Chains A and B, each alone.
Chain A
Amino acid sequence: MANYLIEIGEVSKIKLHGHIDASIAPALMEEMKPLIEQKDKVKKLVFYADELEYIASAGIRAVVFAKQKIGGKVQCYLVGASETVLDVFKMTGIDKFFTVQDTFTE
């Protein structure tokens, strides 16, 4: 099973699993290119992290990359993140740009 699953739509969903580290993040960034190419249709970008066990700075870079490429107006959500995953978002100051939720609510 891949460590991520991407669904493109008005509400685009990126489901993260397992570990998103330096080994996985470059492929994730590559796989997000179709999403970025269709950025005009994306109003909300939801990162599902309920099955994410670990994220390193390379994973945070991939998340920032997606947000930057899609543009300033998209609303970003971080859903179901564990305390340790959320801690890495907080240490890098990225959490402030996300609506952090236990379950996705528009």
Chain B
Amino acid sequence: MLHNKEFPARREFLPQMLTEITDEVKKYFTDDKWINRLKVCSEEILVNIIDYSSSKKVFVTCEFDEAENALRFEFADEGKLYNPLEEVPKVDIEEDIDDRSIGGLGIFLYTTIMDKLEYNSDDGKNHLTAYKKLFDGGDFLEK
């Protein structure tokens, strides 16, 4: 169980965060492709928090959400308030590689892979929550 676990918001703790998230993901997904995709999403979100939020801490949740029948990822930080979902850059994956902008790929990936994303800052912290349904390519192993 990974519920609101506090980590220092520093790059050197990123491997530990991703290992703990992936350990939880593996309880619900057995397909390596989906395990990897969810790791990629988590990394993209965490790197943005670590690099840009100015928060000293990040709080990580990865747990089953019964109401959504999904794995729920929540990333909270105490940095400057910023809603990454407000302006999601458009990425045209059909566009020629030589004309591509190299920015925005991270948020493109996690908004594409996840089924639902929410942001709130009601308590003065950034909370980015992402849901991945268990029956979309995943195996339901543990409730």
Q: In the complex the two chains form, is B11's CB within 8 Å of A92's CB?
A: no
A91 in complex: contacting residue of B95, B98, B113, CB < 8 Å:
B113
Q: In the complex the two chains form, is B39's CB within 8 Å of A68's CB?
A: no
Give how many B residues have a beta carbon under 8 Å from the other chain's beta carbons: 29
Most A-side CB within 10 Å, residue of B37, B51, B98: B98
Q: In the complex the two chains form, is B102's CB within 8 Å of A64's CB?
A: yes
What is the predominant secondary structure among interface residues of chain A facing chain B?
helix
Q: In the complex the two chains form, is A23's CB within 8 Å of B98's CB?
A: no
A92 surroundings in chain B (CB, below 8 A): 91, 93, 105, 108-109
Q: In the complex the two chains form, is B32's CB within 8 Å of A84's CB?
A: yes
CB closest residue in chain A, given B112: A91
Q: In the complex the two chains form, is B105's CB within 8 Å of A93's CB?
A: no
CA of A84 to CA of B33, assembled, Å: 5
B36 in complex: contacting residue of A61, A65, A72, A84, CB < 8 Å:
A84
B47 within 8 Å of A by Cβ?
yes
Q: In the complex the two chains form, is A54's CB within 8 Å of B113's CB?
A: no
**28 A-B contact pairs sorted by A residue (CB < 8 Å):** A21-B43, A22-B11, A22-B14, A22-B47, A22-B51, A23-B14, A56-B43, A56-B47, A57-B105, A57-B106, A61-B102, A61-B105, A64-B100, A65-B102, A67-B97, A67-B98, A83-B32, A84-B33, A87-B36, A87-B37, A88-B109, A91-B113, A92-B105, A93-B93, A93-B95, A94-B97, A96-B97, A97-B97
Residue positions of A touching B, CB distance < 8 A = 21-23, 54, 56-58, 60-61, 64-65, 67-68, 71-72, 83-84, 87-88, 91-94, 96-97
Closest 7 CB pairs of A and B: A93-B93, A57-B105, A84-B36, A57-B106, A97-B97, A22-B47, A61-B102
